Amino acid sequence: MKLTYLTLLILHINSLIDSGKYNDITIDEIHNAIENKSLLRFIKKRCGNDIDLSLHLDAGLNFEHDYEDRMNGLYNGYAGNESRKWGVRNLGLCLMLAWTNELIQLHASFPNEFPLKIN
């Protein structure tokens, strides 16, 4: 998984949050999409042209599979503790942003267990 793709995803999510148009995406909806390993496709369907996930959904790059697996791992370990650990109580996109950022932090702390490609 490429670090630059994660940081680009963070920028996209941040833009969606800033627009205020998707504040109705709930934490439960994000949980369900993560459980189904369809988070990126859920966000693309819900946000349409407001987000460009063409790089992230390119089957040849394998980002989607790796991202969905890692987000599912976070879900299995931390679902229900979003408020305590990340301060997220209301917006599903804020949870997605926090957990995507967590993937980068896990790599920084445990590079062998959570490898990322820098470029």
Residue 9 maps to which CATH number? Answer: 1.20.120
Q: Is the pLDDT of residue 56 over 80?
A: yes
pLDDT in tens, 68-107: 999 999 999 999 988 898 999 999 999 999 999 999 998 8
Q: Is residue 7 part of a domain?
A: yes
Distance of CA 19 to the CA centre of its chain: 18
Which of 74, 71, 6, 79 lies closest to 37 in space, CA to CA? 71
Q: Is residue 21 part of a domain?
A: yes
**Domain around 35:** 3-109
Q: Identify the three-state secondary structure at position 113.
A: coil
Q: Is the pLDDT of residue 62 over 70?
A: yes
For residue 24, what are its two tokens? Answer: 């109705």
Q: Is residue 88 part of a domain?
A: yes
Mean pLDDT over each residue of the chain, to the nearest integer: 92
Give how many domains the chain has, as a whole number: 1
Whether residue 107 contacts residue 3, with contact meaning beta carbons closer than 8 Å, is answered with yes
Q: Is residue 116 part of a domain?
A: no
Q: Is residue 91 part of a domain?
A: yes
Q: Is residue 61 part of a domain?
A: yes
Q: Is residue 98 part of a domain?
A: yes
How many CB atoms are located within 10 Å of the residue 86 CB?
Answer: 16
pLDDT in tens, 12-50: 999 999 999 999 999 999 999 999 999 999 999 999 999
Distance of CA 22 to the CA centre of its chain: 15
Q: Is the pLDDT of residue 112 over 80?
A: no
pLDDT at position 110 is 72
